[in-house]
Structures are given as C-alpha cells and as structure tokens.
Amino acid sequence: METALRSTKSLRDLIRTPLSLARFGVLATTLALSGCGISYQSPDVREREDGTPVVVVPMTAQEVSRANASDYTPRALPAVFYATTGGGSAVTGAGALPATPYLPSETPGSLDFRPLPDVQPEAYRIGVGDVLLLATKSGGSTIEQLSGLLAAQNQRQGYTVRDDGSIAIPEIGPVQLSGLTVQEAEDRLFQVLVENQIDPSFSLEVAEFHSKKVAIGGAVKKPSVVPITLNKLTLGQALTTAGDIAVRDREFASIRVYREGTLYQIPLKIYLDRQDLQNKVLLNGDAVYVDTSYDLDRAMEFYQAKIDVIALRTTARTTALQSMQAEIGLQRSALDERRNLFELRQKLGAEERDYVYLTGEVENQNRVALPYQQQATLADILYSEGGFDNTTGDPTQIYVLRADTRAESIGSITAYHLNVKNAADTLIATRFEMRPNDVIFIEEQAITKWGRALQQMFPSLLSATSAATGGG
C-alpha cells in the first residue's frame, strides 16, 4: 500500500495539469491500480510487439476505392443451385426429360437452348367453328333468289362451319367446306351455285377464326388462346397478343413450347436478342408457356389444362405427359437431395467459407461468413450483427484491420480508420468492401475505460483497506 500512497500523492501533482475529466480519471485509476499491483488492459490499435508495422489510414472515398481494388471473387454456390428440372436435350417421342446438364460452379449456369424447328406455313384451311361470310355485288340481281346470301351481305351475318364440316345455305342445303383453303371453298361454292342455277357472283371471307388455336400462358400479362388466321402466327406475335412477357429476373426465365410430344425451350435472354426466334411460326395445337421457376409445376398444369382445349387427346400424348411428370419428379427429388446435403455439410463446417471477424465494443463479437455471389460491405457486416453501443464504443475509433496477403506470414497491417462522429460519414461504411480475414475493431470510450478500471479497482482497494485496519 506504500506504493499506492505514493501514487496518490503523484495524483495531487497531476491535478494541476490541464487534463480532461475522463483522461484524468483514467490516468488516476491506472496509477492507483499499478500501485496495488493491478492493471486494466484496454485494447487499441498500435504497432505489434514483434515490430510489425500497423499503418493507420483514414477511410476516405479515395482510400476506399484503393482498398476495394484488391483482388477478391466471392465464392460461388454449387452448380446444383442453378440447375432446373427442365434442362437437358430435346424431348421427343414419349416426352421424357433427359438428365440435368452439368453447370460449372464458378458462374451461374444457363438454360438449355432447344429452339423450335423452322416450318413452312401452309395456306389456311377452313375448320369446324370458323365463321364464313358470303357477300354479293351491290344492286339487285338474280342472286336475290338466295335470301341467305343477301342477309350475309346486308346484315353481316355469317355461316358457322358445323361439326360435320359444312355450312347450311338456305334453299341450297349443306355445303362441305372443312379442310379447304379459301380459294378451294370459293370454287366449291361457285360450282354449287351454278348447279342450283343461281348467279355465282359472290365473295367469300373468313369472318371469325375458331378452328386453329395456340395456347399462351405462364408469365404473360393476359394468358389466352390465340387463333391462327389467314396470316401465319409467329411466336413474337402470339406473346404480344397475350400482353407480352412479364418477368422481373430474366436470368432463369425461358419460353417453353410443347408441340406433338416434344418440349422445346428458348432462354428468354436469347429470345430477346434474336429476331429469327421471335419470327418462329407456330402451328395449330402448340402450347406456349413462359416459365420463371426452377421446376415445371405450373407449366405442367398449364399443358394439361390446355391440351384438351386444343384437342390433343390421343393415348400417345397422354403417355407423354405422364412420362414428363415422372421424369420431372425424379429430377426435382435429386436436386433437393443434393441441395440439402450441401446445407448439412455447411452446418457441420465441412464447406470452405470466407470469414471476417468482429471484436472490441461491437454488439456481438463473432465470426461472420462472407456471402456467396456478392460483395459484402463494412455496413453489411457490422449492422447485420447488431452494430455497436455508442455508450461504450467510441464512434470516432472504428477500424478495419487488414494484413498484407502477399506475405507468407502476417506482414504489414493496414488499419482503415472510420470516424462517424458525424453520422453522415456512416455512408462510407456502405462502400467499403470486406475481404477474407478482415478484423473489424471498435475501441472503447474513454469514460468506458475509466468505469471498467474502477470496477476492477474497488474490490482490491476495499480488501487492502480492510487488511490495513485489521479487518475492523
């Protein structure tokens, strides 16, 4: 206690020195504790005992740009997280899907490209449900004998092709037109009118198209059934009729076309870049689906709902759908198993990760894994772990410690110093990118050091006082 008394005497001399209350308290506490053989160790940023230099650099915009220029590529997720259950080579025959393609882990994989084959569009052939319009020349003529034809001209009433493929003309009867082109249908009507001794001066047009359709669904604004008319229907025109494509993330979106047991696939990014793909001709019975998910659940529901609408009811096609569903289920189960295995290995620490470390007056001293596929900033790491309590942590003394990775052992250390006494400077933390093995350190407030030192000093002083007074 003799040493403690001498230290107390020295304190009286120091009182005359113009020190702040906090610094005086820390100094007084340090002297008192050292006199009793007790010292409170408070971490700070300084040169290491082995002489390794620690260079303190203010975290300015220029220094942040220089620090961010260091080479670092975030780790990639395994390829299984980019695989889809619709990948593989062309689907033919029964419609079974092949195995998922190999995708490298360094970059996100791309969807398999299986474009529609080029087809030569044929002339439109009249079918069941189409509405035909017969029109006569203006003015009276012997055609007036055919009241139905005049009604078609004057009242714009047409003739619907019935289930048996014919239209019924008053005073003439049924005329078979299904399966004929417009030109062939005009020839057939001309012959019928002549045979019935009626002036064959007329014109024929298809007023409404109902016999040939293409179904459009998935990520479009207006899912619908689009009719095929006299003009060829292209993939781009069909999607425009359905309100165009409506997706947020185009990376994994694709346009899938199901045609007679074969599933074709065009990645959306490729489709938008190529006019020839937008001009692909669609055929009667095609089902187009804009898919944005990793599996084909919604696509399969769409196909099955629309297959009946477009009259794809054969046993072979039903078998194709069942095969597709079974294969998709197997692929999905395999993907889920591999993804679950990766997550389990990660929990057990068997997967290599990059980490940064939080220490000092942070809310949660911890080791934090850097994210996959993207850069993390100082603000991301610090505030995702709760930030820091500025009643104990000094907002003017925030450091990111980074060692020179080019050295075999720990070489020179750079301490990037962030002062957020002005809260606006916190924005700098949102620009500073983290690197593996960075250490984020926040120093104590001066008053915090003093308070903690007093907490350790008082029990010792009370014990020493009690011993000096004989326990009384």
Q: Which CATH architecture has domain 80-121+212-344?
A: Roll (3.10)
Q: Name the band, by pLDDT with cuts 50, 70 and 90, for residue 157.
A: low
Full 3-state SS string of 363-404: CCCEEEECCCCCCCEHHHHHHHCCCCCCCCEEEEEEEEEEEC
Q: Which CATH class is domain 44-73+354-445?
A: alpha beta
pLDDT class for 370, splitting at 50, 70, 90? very high
Please tell me which residue, 237 or 152, carries the higher pLDDT value: 237
- Looking at every residue in the chain, the average pLDDT score rounds to 76
φ, ψ dihedrals at 64, nearest 5°? -65, -45
Q: Which of 153, 123, 119 is nearest to 136 (CA)?
A: 153
CB 52 within 8 A of CB 411: yes
Q: Is the full-model pTM beyond 0.75?
A: no
**Helix count and strand count (H, E) for the chain:** 12, 16
Domain 131-208 has CATH 3.30.1950.10: yes
Q: For 264-301, how does the pLDDT look when each residue is reduced to its tens digit (9 = 90+)? A: 988 888 888 899 988 999 999 899 998 876 444 555 56
Same fold, 44-73+354-445 and 131-208: no
- Give the domain ranges of the chain: 44-73+354-445, 80-121+212-344, 131-208
In angstroms, the CA 12 to CA 167 distance is: 119
Q: Between 410 and 322, name the one with better pLDDT.
A: 322
- 303 versus 76: the higher-pLDDT residue is 76
SS3 breakdown of the chain: % helix, strand, coil, rounded to 5? 35, 20, 45
> Which residue type does 223 have?
P
What is the model's pLDDT at position 295? 44
- Given a cut of 70, whether residue 21 has pLDDT beyond it is no
The candidate with the shortest Cα–Cα distance to 433, out of 389, 384, 379, 390, is 379
For residue 261, the model assigns a pLDDT of: 83
**8 Å CB contact between 462 and 93:** no
With bands split at pLDDT 50, 70 and 90, how would you rate the model's confidence at 85? low
- pLDDT beyond 70 at 109: no
Q: Stretch 383-408: mean pLDDT, rounded?
A: 85
